[in-house]
Chains A and B, each alone.
Chain A
């Protein structure tokens, strides 16, 4: 009861409204979370943990049985016995906030027109007022890499947090990388009633164009120019090792060629997005320190003869081979489906992935690939207090019940349109 009252004090139930809740104010207090089963995101877990943070930074992570604490030193104490604590889940390669209602074109800010458009930035189109975002937070997904799509080079993504007034304060890492859609090695074409697979005739040419574009940009980056070539300028960070090149590719040949491209162009940071075939070149990926943002777990196998559980098993297969990977959700109904990311991890566990590795695939692994792991991705002292408490196991839909969520220590109001409508009609 005391707990309950405490909660009430912390999070006054806002009047049920169809508006998104206001972003939480900056956290100035010290907060202690006691006795939760903490999944740290780095592959470890503490069954009975104490985790504290102050001014938004984690100050303590320990086994409750091994430390003695003076509770009076904390402004707020959350009794979380029986609950599970996780770092905020990260939606990599996401278009959340770039589109709202699929069928309505006016909402669509996902793909700019054009082919090579590295300077296009998703951050500024990210709509903090999207009604989808609060529904996603309600399941523990607190951060995302907001990614433009389309063309050969889609543009630049940014890492954003999901409780903000506008895109500026949502930014965690602005323009973290450039997204390159590797040309299709094979394409299917309709031929006498059948779909024939053949090497795309213009594949080599497309590759040459990409290579030339990068060569030009690299030459530009080395010299000091009076004029600014906006597109090449955008790629400068790639050659300086400050930005990541995200290569979207599923086919094994495309992935192999992308790795070659990395070596050839001396690109420091590369990540494969999609990677259905990535397990076939696991050793090469490790050699080149390239991680994989794995294609949707809840997807069908690509070929009829494939293992029926192929997509369910891929996380486990990559884990076994030691490739750095995280989960993501690109595909049909991806924005509204973002709230199901935790359950992708759950399904991966059913198919062999150890539980803490599954948590890692939504947290620290993603943070590493996004280059924000110093600050985010795990519950460790010194990192941002971006984490959430679920009454039960958050990877299982039966028990995922997020009751507290913090972004940089700020205590989120976890209402959303769906909860509001539920409340409104519950007693009709």
Chain B
């Protein structure tokens, strides 16, 4: 028995006032009054709650707020009867009022090297600093309604398209274009996503990073005088927007650190729109010293009712489901400043729900309020006008029935710049269950009303007999109608009607009898059954949460392993040194280094020495994979013939399960190479398999720089289909020209740099090539056919650089003598062939033949599966070509270390070298041997026993989470289909998903 009435009958359009310069069609309305809100609980700022206080606003601003506030005479007064007033929330990441960004669409397959924009902008369509949100802003009433319903009053909006996205505008959620625009240019916005640009470059994440860096450098050059050489509106704008706070939309957990790095390089402290997964690397986020905008995007539980389907769900996805609501709490515990954003939610109604979920996890309410008001206000330097209910501030606030964190709380109204918008009409209950009386002359009807959908309302009239009626009640605004239908015994009275209007406590009106006689009557309350208010405070025991694992995926550590001091005894030690293979020998590792090798060693100098009896077991240096594409977020930036500016080191992905799998095969380090889509590829990352570390910690410090080159079918796009016939080069002849051209340019660039007076545009691509010429960077070149290998060596000889390593080099056996003369090493597959025309002459004896000519030979994987049994591949050098086992093992240990210039610290078991060692169950070259332990820097990252326990633990953890998800489903919470994040496996010519090209999995 509820009826809904409008809380306030005033409609907002009454206040609509025209802007001074605008003509008005009609009698000009003026904003002349003030509005006072009395008896309200006012949250003036995140830490100040004024109870039973008054708020007065006038002309869109707060006039006064407090307990003893005098109400101006021109004020319209609203009694809030204990309702709450909050400063409206501020959104910093939105495209509210922006046109929908066009999706990248162009003719399938054909390359697009150049910009397709009109105007004198820069060369790349993903760089759009000239985009100005204010110029195209147009309020959207429907979206504004959604935002206001969540409690927002002002949003920062920008065009979410491109890597440089131009400036944002701060707008309020009103409905008038001009009134809504609060500040036209507020922030400068960035991302790594090229958006609607159909240009090929960048086709990868590392390309985006390089492009953004180059743009900063170009803008600087332009400012310093470059504009004399080139008119470029993009660069001009790029310089102009630098004065605004910079926002970065990272879209990926690890991109946060990538963006932060770019920021550090150019002295920009980005405000980063995060992913909600920051808790997974909280220490790293803390160290990066960024401020954040965090979504409240919580995944729904998976429907795990079918266990056979549920097993497809990633461990990390299950854990994230549980942990996501704790993200704000963990961020605030770590002292990381952040604002909240409602962006990213599929259903905006989830925003307040999710906010409350995070509060349930123990996050403080005042911090939550701050993250929605004062923090975002100060991020955009509007802390003196927005985010609080304070004199002089913009009158942006909302009224809710209860404290906003209470699940029963309803937002009634949202006032934007002093204008009222209704959100939820206040539900006003007029008649509750209870006893009432209707007096009609001398007749007294005792009426009992019930609650519920089909209430049994009754009335009794004592007129000698006791006469009974059933009662129907209807309410409409302030009117009440009763219909009294007599039961059979009293049917002589007929159906009786009453209609009354409400006074303060009773209703007076007319009573109509059977015969049409009308009498005045009074309906009054005898006793209302007070509805028991549902207690909001549920006695809930705090939810048990699982632990965070590092990395946040299957086989992640609950506790990251530490360096150990280990004394291996009775082992067969393959030293890779002049001592050769020593039987029943000993090795001591400590402090991450090998500290002793030999027999009868004394470990008494070390503390906490673990003794490992390795009787019957073999100890070798760790395996180094010279050619790998695991642990990367992108591999190929193949859109141009040269992409020397891109760095695999900028896109290391430390959560790749293949890192752990390869540890189980004894791999301790790898060169993560750019792909082979272009003659000059990108810069390599040298990593150690530090499972659980972050991307930077994975990198080997003080290592030489390397770069990928490539020859043959991939770079001339032979197997890329019929569309890819435009990009230079398309023949081996063109490949040579790419090298000459680029190195000559690099030489000239180097000459220019020597003149300190000359303004030289910093060119990241030529920098890398110059490093090669200056012997600071070294080439690993993908190669197959002898002719082109000779070609590159000739180019190098004539321009003064050496090819450090030919990789694949499957025809190396044909020209081993020339390679030797040039000084190149070879890193090959043991036995791959026949996958392309250019490998039809590949033979498995290649490694041995090259080694016999004195070339440093390695066997590599280029394959996530093979990498975990490179020892078996090394053994094939014994089979094909008759290498000695000792030399064969060096193909995957010492020799790759040499090729990567790491042999001073890795690759053999020698005192002083890194404790990167592997304990094998037997002969490391035997197919029957397994890795028992793998150490990197003296830390045991793989242990067969431990692996077993981890798997058990993971099963238990999955089972626990599955139970929790089943309960969620039982409770009627929404569940979604299991989701599986397919592991990525890259090969040399895997193109990134972001590229428009096709996928290739050839080598």
Contact = CB atoms under 8 A, between A and B. Distances in A.
Contacts of B311: 303
B261 interface: no
A35 B677 CA distance: 54
Interface string A181-205: 0000010100100111111000000
A135 to B, nearest CB: 8
Contacts, number: 153
B610 to A, nearest CB: 24
Interface in B961-1001: 977-983, 985, 1001
A346 interface: yes
A308 B947 contact: yes
Nearest to A301: B661
B865 interface: yes
A303 B981 CA distance: 9
Interface string B863-906: 01110110010011011110001000000000000000000000
Interface string A305-318: 10111000000000
Contacts of A309: 664
B691 to A, nearest CB: 12
Given A305-B314, A398-B885, A196 B979 contact: yes
B927 A346 contact: yes
Interface in B806-843: 813-814, 816-817, 831-837, 840-841, 843
A220 interface: no
Most buried by B among A186, A298, A305: A305
Given A196-B978, A304-B554, A351-B930, A101 B841 contact: no
A188 B979 CA distance: 8
Interface in A397-428: 397-401, 417-418, 421-422, 425-426, 428
B982 A188 contact: yes
Given A253-B308, A304-B315, A346-B927, A195 B835 contact: no
Interface in B706-730: 713, 718-719
Most buried by B among A101, A197, A253, A351: A197
A103 interface: yes
Contacts of A101: 834-837, 840
Contact of A303 (B312, B664, B881): B312
Given A102-B835, A197-B979, A343 B872 contact: yes
A100 B875 CA distance: 26
A395 B979 contact: no
B553 interface: yes
Nearest to B318: A305
A347 interface: yes
B928 interface: yes
B814 A425 contact: yes
A399 B878 CA distance: 8
A298 B1002 contact: no
Interface string A96-107: 000011111000
B866 A298 contact: yes
Contacts of A350: 927-930
Interface string B942-958: 00000100010010001
A104 B660 CA distance: 36
B309 interface: yes
Nearest to A299: B865
Nearest to A104: B837
B324 interface: no
A335 interface: yes
Contacts of A397: 872, 875-876, 878-879, 927
A299 B881 CA distance: 26
Interface in B915-940: 925-930
A398 B881 CA distance: 11
B509 interface: no
B836 A349 contact: no
Interface in B98-117: none
Interface in A70-129: 100-104
B977 A196 contact: yes
Contact of B980 (A196, A199, A336, A395): A196
A103 B309 contact: no
B927 A349 contact: yes
A186 B309 contact: yes
A252 interface: yes
Nearest to A399: B879
A333 interface: yes
Nearest to A416: B843
Interface in A130-148: 131-132
Given A101-B835, A428-B817, A421 B308 contact: no
Contacts of B878: 397-398
Contacts of B554: 304-305
A44 interface: no
Contacts of A179: none
A396 B875 contact: yes
B837 A103 contact: yes
A300 interface: yes
A347 B927 contact: yes
A174 B835 CA distance: 29
A422 B843 contact: yes
Most buried by A among B840, B958, B979: B979
A252 B308 contact: yes
B930 A103 contact: no
B844 interface: yes
A421 B982 contact: no
B849 interface: yes
Contacts of B719: 103
A161 interface: no
Contacts of A378: none
Contacts of A332: 1001
B866 A336 contact: no
B720 to A, nearest CB: 10
A368 to B, nearest CB: 25
B717 to A, nearest CB: 12
A336 B834 CA distance: 7
A339 interface: yes
A347 B665 CA distance: 12
A347 B873 CA distance: 12
B845 interface: yes
A347 B931 CA distance: 12
B875 A188 contact: no
Contact of A333 (B312, B835, B985): B835
Nearest to B948: A307
A195 B837 contact: no
A343 B954 contact: no
Contacts of B926: 396, 398
Contacts of B868: 308
Contact of B553 (A299, A304, A399, A418): A304
B700 interface: no
B557 to A, nearest CB: 15
A340 interface: yes
B657 interface: yes
Interface in B644-669: 657-658, 660-661, 664
A343 B927 contact: yes
A100 B835 CA distance: 8
Given A194-B981, A304-B553, A305-B315, A103 B835 contact: yes
B569 to A, nearest CB: 24
Interface string B271-315: 000000000000000000000000000000000000011011111
Q: 7 tightest CB-CB pairs across the interface, nearest first?
A: A346-B927, A305-B554, A422-B845, A418-B843, A103-B836, A304-B657, A102-B835
7 contacts: A101-B836, A102-B835, A103-B835, A304-B314, A307-B951, A336-B835, A398-B926
Interface of A: 100-104, 131-132, 186, 188, 191, 194-199, 252-253, 298-301, 303-305, 307-309, 332-333, 335-336, 339-340, 343, 346-347, 349-351, 395-401, 417-418, 421-422, 425-426, 428
Given A305-B315, A426-B849, A428-B817, 8 more contacts: A102-B835, A198-B977, A199-B309, A252-B308, A304-B553, A309-B664, A336-B833, A401-B879
